[in-house]
Amino acid sequence: MTEVKVPTLGESITEATLGEWLKKPGEPVKADEPIASLETDKVSVEVPSPVAGVMGQQLFAVGDTVNVDAVIATIEAGDGAAAAPAPTPAAAPAPAPAASPAPAPSGDAGPAALSPSVRRAVLEHGVDPSSIQGTGRDGRITKDDVVAAASAKPTAPASAPAPAAAPAPASTGGDRAEERVRMTRVRQTIAKRLKDAQNTAALLTTFNDVDMTAVIEARTKYKDLFEKKHGVRLGFMGFFVKAACQALKDIPSVNARIDGEEIVYHDYADISVAVSAPQGLVVPVIRDADQMSVAQVEKTIGDFGKRAKDGSLKMDEMKGGTFTISNGGVFGSLMSTPIINPPQSAVLGLHRIEDRPVVRDGQVVVRPMMYLALSYDHRLIDGREAVTFLVALKNAIEDPTRLLIDL
């Protein structure tokens, strides 16, 4: 018998939440194969098996808090061919362990086969998990898979008998269901950090808009050649990251932070980019983005997005950052007031592109426009500096040649 312990989770992190069992008792396990996932303050971490054998006892239940170096399971000798022995009382807290590492659509479809966030999404959208092809690690179903399946689900015909079968709740009013779900460690940390930011910083947001015509034309003209040469699609984020880096050089206070009674200025730009993940929004960091090409930025963001979905982002990739860009436009947001990511002092919010009438050379024309929002800590950044930063970024996007000649 071999004990499986919680691995070291990173600097200053001493505990995590057991998010999901990836193996059932009695199933064969390969050496280094993930058997469980843990949720830390920043990302999900998979716990690998130290040896090959058979999954034995599971000593904690999903949702339990586990400390670093705690024994959470055992691996027994064997190949898994025989039925697993009944779990001992120590393993009793683990209710219905998760699915095997490759939950194909025809595999386990019950709630126990899914992580808590995915189960909630299944209930909210009313989809059948057995019909969903998972895109997560080892084929596991993610929250994004559920949302995509719900979007593709055909609307039920008006004659469907199911809705008419349960009139009782409408007449009695006593069958209104509620569900209490413990906040994940990631969500708890997000809530605490954002509230701390509101309580500590003097938050203010300034707005501008940008004509996306030039960037859209450049993207349309070069996207095929770009993808053929660099192996990645040419998106808008590459332009905005490079434009932000250039504006940060001109307005260094936007790239600075407050440390006690001192201001720390950075002569580099580590850009945090908000990426959607099954457990919530995560913010990995593009290191030395000011030294990268547009292609390198796009490759880095694409890699972050892929690994955020399968839960393989590393904690070191979430640390640091001198400035944040959050693109709410991918979800349809028209305008927002983003909250800074402490200890940073500013965050840029991007929004959806829509055709709007604007005046050009005395004529009303229709152009693809986007609202920009810069939230900043007014203790460090003056309004003049915030507006100047947004104008510099706007000018660079509306005339991308400025990015080439550093104007």
What is residue 373's three-state secondary structure? strand
State the DSSP code for 162: G
Give the number of other Cβ atoms within 10 Å of residue 153's Cβ.
13
Six-digit token string for 205: 């947001």
Q: Closest by alpha carbon to 309, among 117, 40, 100?
A: 117
* Pairing status of strand 271-273 against strand 262-264: unpaired
Catalytic residue selected from 69, 196, 224, 382 = 382
The rounded distance, in Å, linking the Cα atoms of 394 and 230 is 26
Helix (H) or strand (E) holding 187: helix 185-200
Active site residue 382: yes
The burial class, CB within 10 Å (0-12 / 13-18 / 19+), for 254 is: buried
Does residue 397 contact residue 240 with C-beta atoms inside 8 Å? yes
Six-digit token string for 310: 């399968």
Q: Closest by alpha carbon to 309, among 330, 286, 280, 331?
A: 280
The rounded distance, in Å, linking the Cα atoms of 98 and 91 is 14
Active site residue 378: yes
Catalytic residue selected from 138, 378, 399, 406 = 378
Kindly provide the b/e burial profile for residues 285-318, where b requires at least 16 CB atoms within 10 angstroms of the residue's own CB: bbeebbebebbbbbbbbeebeebbbbbebeeebb
Residue whose entry in the numeric block shows the structure tokens 């200025």: 265
Q: How far is CA 297 from CA 235, 241, 287, 294, in A?
A: 10, 8, 10, 5
Give yes or no for a cis peptide into 343 (omega within 30° of 0). yes
Kindly provide the b/e burial profile for residues 230-248, where b requires at least 16 CB atoms within 10 angstroms of the residue's own CB: eebebbbbbbbbbbbbbbb
Q: How far is CA 294 from CA 239, 298, 317, in A?
A: 7, 6, 20
- Indicate which residues carry an active-site annotation: 378, 382
